[in-house]
Structure 1
Amino acid sequence: MYIPYYHADVFTEVPFSGNGLSIFLPPVELPADRMLRITQEMKQFESIFVRPRPEGTLVDARVFTVEEELSFAGHPSIGAAAQLHALNRAGETEAGWIFIFPQKSLPIATRKTDYGYSCTMNQGEAEFGEPLPEAAGKPVLEALQIDPKDRDEKYPLQVVSTGLPYLLVPLKRNFTTANIGAEGLSEMLEAVGAKFIGLVDVDGRSMRTGDNLGKVEDIATGSLAGPVGAYLVRHGVAAPGEEIGLVQGVHLGRESRLYVTVSSDVIVRGGVVLLAEGRLLCP
């Protein structure tokens, strides 16, 4: 069986920048363990598997890291939507899609540009946990070996979600060198209602995240951008309706630009550059 495969750079307008993505269009539904193994073979932070329905705009989608399936993810969604626009709506300047994940549906709009595609996804309303008391956040900070003096005390540790719950940790110093993972972090995050950590430089409008063991850092994370934008609005750093520019991956040599607008819903926008295509020989 041949599976069409595509490669894109997401949250960028420049080739070989932003966050790389593997996109697969399997002709039949694949078992989860097969999709996980394919993702592990490609060694991208995430891969996405999409199957457009006959209706044309509805797309069944599954996204995997090298460790597990996620309920949804941002950069794979807009990257795959741009690729579907190129394949199925090439004669149109604009197109719309609804990506249907196992636990969430995600409306996405795509528009042709000189560099590729500009894509916008509606992540819905943000959900906020209560600001964490100091005692509850202390084990996480200690596990990440974050000096309390590096914490930006003007803003709280808080769990925010638009589909994936992140514990947001605002830092004012040593932002790019802080750890993003540690042994046992997953269990600590689960105890406060989060799945991943999100380090935030509020003044610099920058963010970082990765796997919970800290082995791999993500370069551009749409599912984190929405919560960070909502957090900035909630705490008066940005205004409702303002387009908030966020930066990620600069210190890794893969600058990514993510744009968030928060009103009643959280809207995340970014560029996509299509790079390559081929066939996966999948026995």
Structure 2
Amino acid sequence: MNFYIVDVFAESKYAGNQLAVFCGTGVAELSEAQMLLIAREINYSETTFIRSPDRRNNGYDVRIFTPKKELPFAGHPTLGTAFVLQQEIIGEKVDRVILNLAVGQIPVTFNYRNQSADILWMRQNSPNFGQVLSAKTLATVLNLEPDEIDEKFPIQEVSTGVPFIIVPLKTIAALKKAKVNSDKYFELINTTEAKEILIFCPETYSDINDLSVRVFADSLGIPEDPATGSANGCLAGYLVNYGYFGQDAIDIKVEQGYEIDRPSLLLLQSQRTNGEIEVLVGGKVVMVAKGEFV
């Protein structure tokens, strides 16, 4: 099997979120257990498997694994896999690549600069809004004080395919300070559909960005994720739904991964149209390595 390593939501190599993408004739023969073993061997937050180089229903069948389990959808694996498909399998400029994932077909569109793929955009499902949680509970989970959480906006489960608990903070000092209390975290997720937590604040490391974000995913074997497209898609819907920026549409830059030395940049666009919230998440993908599994 051929494999490719790409950095997703990265402005340059060795930043963003790492992804291993497998393709080739051997991939179709892999069992679910074998794919999970390979994902554990790679030990990135996610590894993807392109099941066939041929399209089905105009899309490519792809499966996504963390070191612990298969996911129905994830953001940076979707962009990174689409990039590998365009670069290595399709081999020419295309406007769009569709991935057939467990949540359905997810389209990825390409913008090019000097004939090279530049910004990739994925359209996520319209967000669903679930349980609202208390500041006191999340403060305990995150080792924060309740007054460090922004009470003007709810703590809520949101999903565009995979649910996340969205937690608004007031300052970047609180964002930096946050640290998951494992016992309280696992106690909490026994009562929630969402098992991962996104925290965000309006203060940023870089003046050109609009929000700073961290994502904790201990239930997936990922203590902290450097760039999370699925979670930021949920955040985009949340921001529009609650008018965080005082309007029904956003076009913003979000930074993530600074606390773990993997600076990442995610582009979020969202708007409410005919009662539905549309969500787009974009970013760059950089090829880092190519190889072969034997």
Normalised by the size of structure 1, how large is the TM-score?
0.89
Matched residue count? 275
| Per-residue deviation, residues 142-195 of structure 1 (Å, max 9, x unmatched) | 233222122112211111110111111112242122014613524523413312
One-letter code of the match for 2:287?
L
Equivalent residue, structure 2, for 1:210: 216
**TM-align CA RMSD:** 2.1
**Separation of aligned partners in 1, 2:184 and 2:175:** 21
Cα drift, residue 80 of structure 1: 0.8
Q: How does 1:50-89 map to 2 (within 5 A)?
A: 50-52=50-52, 54-55=54-55, 57-89=58-90
Cα drift, residue 110 of structure 1: 2.4
Which region of structure 1 is more displaced relative to structure 2, 255-264 or 103-112? 103-112
Q: Which runs of 5+ in 2 are unaligned?
A: 205-210, 272-276
1:162 aligns with 2:163: no
1:105 aligns with 2:105: yes
**Separation of aligned partners in 2, 1:253 and 1:148:** 27
The equivalent position to 2:251 in structure 1, one of 243, 250, 253, is 243
Task: Tell whether the 8 Å contact from 2:139 to 2:149 is kept in structure 1 after alignment.
Answer: no
Give secondary structure in 1 for the equivalent of 2:12: coil
| Per-residue deviation, residues 252-279 of structure 1 (Å, max 9, x unmatched) | 2211111111123211111001121110
Cα drift, residue 95 of structure 1: 3.1
Cα drift, residue 97 of structure 1: 1.8
| Per-residue deviation, residues 225-282 of structure 1 (Å, max 9, x unmatched) | 111111111221233343121110112221111111112321111100112111011x
Task: Tell whether the 8 Å contact from 1:116 to 1:274 is kept in structure 2 after alignment.
Answer: no
**Separation of aligned partners in 1, 2:99 and 2:181:** 30
**Separation of aligned partners in 2, 1:176 and 1:49:** 34
Equivalent residue, structure 2, for 1:267: 280
Which region of structure 1 is more displaced relative to structure 2, 146-155 or 112-121? 112-121
Cα drift, residue 141 of structure 1: 2.8
Task: Tell whether the 8 Å contact from 1:106 to 1:123 is kept in structure 2 after alignment.
Answer: yes
**Separation of aligned partners in 1, 2:187 and 2:161:** 19
Give secondary structure in 1 for the equivalent of 2:30: coil
Identity %: 32
**Separation of aligned partners in 1, 2:265 and 2:29:** 33
Task: Tell whether the 8 Å contact from 1:181 to 1:215 is kept in structure 2 after alignment.
Answer: no
1:232 aligns with 2:236: no
- Judging by fraction of residues, say which structure has more strand: 2
Task: Tell whether the 8 Å contact from 1:104 to 1:163 is kept in structure 2 after alignment.
Answer: no
One-letter code of the match for 1:244?
I
Give secondary structure in 2 for the equivalent of 1:142: helix
Q: Which runs of 5+ in 1 are unaligned?
A: none
